[in-house]
Structure 1
Amino acid sequence: MKGSISAVFVFYCLILVAILFLIGHRGDNGAGTVSIKEYLKWNMNLIPFKTIIGYTRFFINGSINESIIIENLLGNVLLFFPMGILLPCIFENLRRFNRFAVAMLISLVSVEILQLLTRSGICDIDDIILNFIGAVSAFGIWRLTVIQKLLSKIYVLNR
C-alpha cells in the first residue's frame, strides 16, 4: 500500500509543477521583455502579510471579486495541504513536526525562488506562509490518533 501512496505523491507533485510553473503564469508581466530589476519590482514580495492584507482591503472596499481572494488565499492554503499527509505517510523521518516543518519550509522557499528565477510566477512570502499553514494543518490532522488508526488499518503506515 505504501507504493500506492508513493504513486499518489508523484502524481500530486506533477500537478503541483503544472500549477506552479506551467499553467497561467501569474507573474507573466512582460517576463521576457523587462530587465530583471523591473521584473523583481513587480513580481517579488518579501513583506510578510502584505498580499494578504491587500486582498483584505480590496475585499472590504468592494474593489475585488471574492473569487479572486478565494483562489489566491484559500487556494494557497489548500495547494500544499496534501503534503501534510503524504510526506509523513511515505517518509518515516518526517513524522516528527520539527523535521516536517523544516522540510516544508525548505521546499516552499525553493519553489518561490524557482518561480522567480524561471519567471514563471510571483515570489511572495505570503505564498510561503499560506502554503505552510495548509501543510501544517494537514500534518496536524494526520497526527490525530483516530486518523493514525484508520491509516494503520488500511496498511498505509509501516509502524
Structure 2
Amino acid sequence: MIEISYLQMFIFITFIWILVRFIIAIRFKKFSVKRELQMLLVYICIVVIARFVYFPLHFVDGEIGTLTIGFSKTLSDMISLIPFFFLFDRYDGWLINIIGNIAMFIPVGIVWPICFRKLDSIKKTVFAGICFIIFIELSQLLCTERHTDIDDVILNTSGVLIGACILFAIRKSRNDVS
C-alpha cells in the first residue's frame, strides 16, 4: 500500500502539467501567454476534481486525508454498475453527493470547449468529458478507499452537459446578436 497526500498529488500534477506545456511550446515553437492563461483553467479543473475525487471530503486531524493506493477489496466490492442502486442507501448526504458530482463537472463543459477548438459542439464536449470521467472512475480501482460507480459517471456527465449547454447557448446568443 502506498499513501499519497494531496500536496504530493498536487505537486505531481503540477510538474506533469508544466512538463507537458513546455514540450508543447517547444514542439510548436511558440508560446502565448493568452493561451497558457486559458489552459490554466483546464489545469484548475483537473486539480480541483482530483481533490474531491481521490481524497476524503472530511478533514482528518485538521488536514485533507491521504489517498491509499493498493488493493484491499474484491473487484465486485469496488465497482457499482447498477444505476442509482446505492445512491440513496449508501450516503447520508445523498443530495449533496448528487449536487456535488454534477457541479464539479460543469466547469469542464464550459472550459474545455473554450480551450480546445475541436470541441466545437455539445456532443463532442460531452464525449471528451465522459472519456475523462471514465478515466477517473477506472483509476479509482487502484485506490483502496474509493469506489467506481456508474452513478458518478451519469452525474458527472450531466455536469459536463449542463456546462456545455451554458457555453454553447451563450455563443449562440452572441452570434444571433451580431
Could you state the TM-score of these two structures normalised by the residue count of structure 1? 0.70
The one of 56, 75, 78 equivalent to 1:43 is 78
* Cross-structure match for 2:46: 13
Q: Show the 5 A alignment for 1:2-151.
A: 2-24=35-57, 34=72, 36-37=73-74, 40-52=75-87, 55=88, 65=92, 68-145=93-170, 149=174
How many residues in Structure 1 have an aligned counterpart in Structure 2?
134
Distance 2:39 2:173 in 1: 18
Identity level (%): 23
Counterpart AA for 1:50:
F
Alignment CA distance shift 1:5-1:50 (3 Å): same
For the Cα contact (< 8 Å) 2:69–2:142, is it kept in 1?
A: no
Identify which of structures 1 and 2 has the higher relative contact order when contacts are C-alpha pairs closer than 8 Å and 6+ apart. Answer: 1
Counterpart AA for 1:15:
V
Distance 1:31 1:14 in 2: 18
Higher strand share: 2
Distance 1:33 1:9 in 2: 30
Counterpart AA for 1:111:
I
Q: Runs of 5+ in structure 2 lacking a partner? A: 1-33, 59-65
For the Cα contact (< 8 Å) 2:130–2:157, is it kept in 1?
A: yes
Superimposed CA distance per residue, residues 55-108 of structure 1 (whole angstroms, 9 cap, x where no aligned partner): 1xx5xxxxx75xx12221111111111000000000010122222222112111
Could you state the TM-score of these two structures normalised by the residue count of structure 2? 0.64
Q: CA RMSD in A?
A: 3.0
